[in-house]
Amino acid sequence: MIPLACWRQAAILLALASALAACGQSQPPAGAAPPPPAVTVAKPVERGVTDQDEYVGRFVAVDSVEVRARVSGYLDQIHFRDGQTVKQGDLLFSIDKRSFQNTVAQARGTLAQAKANLAFTEADLERAKQLVRDRTITEQTFDQRTQAFRGASASVAANEAAVRQAELDLEFTELRAPVAGRIGDRRVSPGNLVTGGATGNTTMLATIVSLDPIRFEFTMDEASYLRYERFSGSGKEVTGREGGVVVALKLLDEKEYGHRGYMDFVDNAIDKSSGTIRGRAVFANPNAVLTPGMFGRIRVPGSPTYNALLVPDAAIGTEQVRKFVLVVGPDDTAVQKYVTLGPLEGDLRVIKDGLQSGDRVVVNGLARVRPGQKVTPQEQGSAPRPAGPQAKK
C-alpha cells in the first residue's frame, strides 16, 4: 500500500506541472513584433484664408475739447456732475451775467440815439437838396449836411455792431457743450473769477471727449507698410492708405477679437527715429466701454485671400527649429513631412508649404508613431478615437 504522504506529493507536483504548461501557452513566441499602433488620420481642410497681422495700440477720441470761457467774470453755477455723459448744446457753466446785461442795455440806448440823429440828418439833407437848387444855401452848406448824414449813418452801423457784440458776450456767459461725449471733473468752483478771451491765459473749466465712434491708433513697421501699399495698389482688399478695410480688435482682458471696425487713415510720413508709420481705425462704441487712452490689440488683414490647407494644430510636431507632420502612405507607413506654418484659424493651423491636399495626416496618436513605422490608420469620424495621449510639441 502506498503511503498517504506520497499521494499528496504526487498531487502537488501534478498541479505545478499544469500551471507551468498554461503559462507557457499564454506567452507569445520569442522575437514576435508588436502590432502596428492605431492612429487617427484626416485629410487637410482646404479653404480661403487671409493672413492677419497684429499690433498693439491705444484708443483716442475723435473729438477732444477743452472748455474755456470766452468772457471774463465770476463763475455763478455748474450744471453737470463730474464724469457724466453730455449732449452737444447742454448747459455746463454759467457766469454772472448782470454786468453783461447792463452793457447790452447801454449799447441799445446808444444805438437808439444814433438812429435818432440819423433821422434828423436825413431830413435835413432832404431839405438842403431843394434849397441848393433854389440857390437859397451855398454848395458848402449842402456838403456839410451831406457829411453829417453820412456820419450819422456810420454811427448807426457802429452802434449796431456794438449791440451785437454785447449780446454775444451776454450769450457767452452760458458755456454749453460743443460736442457730445463724457465730461471730466470741474476745474473751478463757483465764486471764482474766470478769465476769458482769445489769449492763452484763459481759465480751463473742464474737458470733454467724444466716445461713439472712437478711434484706435497703432504703428506698423516700414516693411509691413510697403506690403500693404503694394497689395492695395493692385486692387486687392488689404490695409492701405485709402482705408475702409475691416479690422478686428480685442481688449487686454478678452481672448477673442470680438470688436469690428474699419481702417480710415494712414499717416503721410514714416517716423525717422523708429522707422514706423501711424495707422488708425474707427470702432463703434454705443455702450461707451472703449475709453480714450485704453490699450488694445488690433488684427488687420496682411494678405489677399488665398486657398490654403489647414490641419489641427495638435498634429504639428517640432524637430529643433523645424515643424513637421506625419503622413500615412498607401502602405500604411508613417512618413515625416516638414511644413511651413501660417496663422492659426481657430483650432486649425494654416500650412503654407510641404503638404498636399490628398495627404492623410496623423491627427491623433502622434506620440506613438515614428517615421517609417507601420500604423493602423483610422479615418477621423468613422469610429471612436483610440485612447492615448496627444502630443503637441
Together in a domain, 256 and 321 = no
In CATH, what number is assigned to the domain containing residue 123? Answer: 1.10.287.470
Do 42 and 325 form a contact (C-beta atoms < 8 A)? no
11 CB contacts (<8 Å, ≥6 apart)? none
Sign of CA dihedral 292, 293, 295, 298: positive
In CATH, what number is assigned to the domain containing residue 246? Answer: 2.40.30.170
Answer with the one of 301, 333, 364 that is the final residue of a domain: 301
Phi and psi at residue 201, to the nearest 5°: -95, 15
Do 11 and 349 form a contact (C-beta atoms < 8 A)? no
pLDDT of residue 329: 85
351 within some domain? yes
177 within some domain? no
279 within some domain? yes
pTM strictly above 0.75? no
332 within some domain? yes
Sign of CA dihedral 180, 251, 237, 266: positive
In CATH, what number is assigned to the domain containing residue 335? Answer: 2.40.420.20
pLDDT of residue 27: 54
pLDDT of residue 278: 93
Together in a domain, 288 and 353 = no
Together in a domain, 291 and 333 = no
Residue 14: all three cell numbers together: 501534478
pLDDT 10s digit of each residue in the chain, 393 long?
445 555 556 556 555 555 544 454 545 555 556 788 888 888 888 888 888 888 999 999 999 999 999 999 999 999 999 999 999 999 999 999 999 999 999 999 999 999 999 899 888 888 888 787 777 778 888 888 889 989 999 999 999 999 999 999 999 999 999 999 999 999 999 999 999 887 778 899 999 999 989 999 999 999 888 888 887 766 555 555 555 788 999 998 888 888 999 988 888 889 989 999 999 999 999 888 899 999 999 998 887 788 888 888 888 888 888 888 888 888 888 888 888 888 877 788 888 888 888 888 888 887 888 888 888 888 875 444 443 333 333
91 within some domain? no
Do 196 and 203 form a contact (C-beta atoms < 8 A)? yes
Together in a domain, 296 and 318 = no
Residue 20: all three cell numbers together: 507551468
Answer with the one of 272, 301, 330 that is the final residue of a domain: 301
Residue 135's domain comprises 97-172
Together in a domain, 330 and 295 = no
Answer with the one of 281, 301, 321 that is the final residue of a domain: 301
pLDDT of residue 384: 41
Do 42 and 378 form a contact (C-beta atoms < 8 A)? no
Please tell me the total count of domains within the chain.
Answer: 3
Cell 482646404 sits on residue: 46
pLDDT of residue 105: 94
19 within some domain? no
pLDDT of residue 103: 93
Crossing angle (nearest 10°) for helices 98-133 and 139-171: 160
